[in-house]
Chain A
Amino acid sequence: MRALRVVRRSAFVGIGLVVAAATLWLLVGDFGKPPPAAAIGGPIRLTDQSGAPFDSASLAGKPYAVFFGFTHCPEVCPTTLYELSTDLKQLGDAAKELRVLFVTVDPERDTPEFLENYLANFDPRIMGLTGTADEIAAVAKSFRVFYEKVATGEGDYTMNHTALVYLMDRHGQFFGTLAYDESGETKLQKLRRLLKEG
């Protein structure tokens, strides 16, 4: 009987230790963790410039970049697409598989046909994506991208929008951003790092 009691007591102590360790692990584990990278970005399910459905799952295993903009944009959007085209050319073969997704925040005017025509000016690795207002809103929300229509008179409008280029790693996780006012060299370095480490 005595032996049994010892065994039982040891069992209780053992269970207690396991519970304590688990609690500690949950607490410390959670406190120590940085905010999850998944907080920026998410699946992109839209319509590409050829009118075909697009799912970012098709890019699994490859890093990619995402830029939200619109074609009725006088400076930031064409300049960003132009710079990305130059960067892609400069990165050469290393960026053969790198895709840049240009997601319109103005689906009303940016139809697949218009996007296709517009993007013919840039590197073919840049894909145009559009969708319904709700679809665009969902993707923008997952990237924490801000956009809004601004009336400019005579029924015309323009868009305010986040102008960062989001870099996503081969697992579709957020890797970093390119800012419009960063130097060309910094942007190129970030893209090189994405291709190497992302």
Chain B
Amino acid sequence: MSYLPRDAGMHRACRAAILAGLTLLSIPACADGAKLGDLVIEHAWIGLPPAGAAVAGGYVTIRNAGAAPDRLVAVASPIAGAAALHRMAMSNGVMTMEALPDGIEIPAGATVELAPGSLHIMFTRLKRPLLLGETVSGELVFEKAGTVAVGFAVLPMGAASATEGGQ
């Protein structure tokens, strides 16, 4: 395994997606990040939800190489009846969830990581069970840059990040 790059988990998932012959749209986000103006979108993934679950958490890393801030305002995917932006926090053993109706700011020159334990995409009303290793298509909508297609790699349950892939 030593010849694999550090983000081997992501590449594995992407290869699986490509082999499965999924949409071309999902490939750019997998390979070296989707670009939309000054934004680079990388490591889009979903933690495999239990079969029968109605919801799933989605994560992505967004880099803003530009000189002006932008804002992630909406997400959509054909696998979910709705998708919203939420922030989770843990304090004194209590988990709290906060809806972010104004979206998530991507400051100029900054990288914002949606990751377990904090900012995430909340997919609700799932229309079908997700499969480990598949890539789920989706769209991210930014206030200024517009809409970009991304492929969310479905990683093992309990995965802590796109690169770890699991525990």
Interface residues of A (CB under 8 A from B): 71-76, 78-79, 81-83, 86, 109, 114, 117-118, 120-122, 146, 150-154, 156, 158-164, 177, 179-181, 184
Residues of A with C-beta under 8 A to B124: 72, 156
Given contacts A73-B55, A78-B53, 9 further A-B contacts (CB under 8 A): A74-B55, A74-B88, A76-B95, A83-B167, A118-B53, A152-B86, A159-B97, A163-B94, A180-B90
**Majority SS of interface residues in chain A?**
mixed
- Is B47's CB within 8 Å of the partner chain A? yes
Q: Give which listed residue, B50, B53, B90, contacts A163 with CB less than 8 A.
A: B90
Would you call A121 and B51 a contact (CB within 8 A)? yes
Q: Which of B90, B93, B95 has the most CB of A within 10 A?
A: B95
Which 10 residue pairs are nearest across A and B when measured between Cβ atoms? Answer: A74-B57, A121-B50, A117-B52, A152-B99, A163-B95, A164-B93, A160-B96, A82-B158, A158-B97, A82-B157
Asked whether, in the complex, the Cβ of A161 is within 8 Å of the Cβ of B94, the reply is: yes
Interface residues of B (CB under 8 A from A): 47, 49-57, 82, 84, 86, 88, 90, 93-99, 101, 116-117, 120, 122-124, 157-158, 167
B50 x A74 contact (CB < 8 A)? no
A74-B54 contact, Cβ under 8 Å, with A83-B158, A160-B95 = no
Query: Does B90 lie within 8 Å of A74, measured CB to CB?
Result: no
Cα–Cα, bound, A184→B49 (Å): 20
Report the bound CA distance from A153 to B98 in whole Å.
11
Q: Tell me which residues across on chain A come within 8 A of B95, comparing CB atoms.
A: 76, 160-163, 180
- Chain B residues with Cβ under 8 A from A158's Cβ? 86, 97, 99, 122
The reply to whether A75 and B50 contact each other, CB–CB distance below 8 Å, is: no
Say whether B57 contacts A75, CB under 8 Å: yes
Residues of chain B within 8 A (CB-CB) of A121 are 50-52
Listed by A's residue number, 30 A-B pairs whose Cβ atoms lie within 8 Å are A71-B53, A74-B47, A74-B57, A74-B88, A74-B120, A75-B88, A75-B116, A75-B117, A75-B120, A78-B49, A78-B50, A79-B157, A81-B50, A82-B157, A86-B167, A117-B51, A117-B52, A118-B50, A120-B51, A122-B50, A150-B99, A152-B122, A153-B101, A156-B124, A158-B86, A158-B97, A159-B97, A163-B95, A181-B90, A184-B167
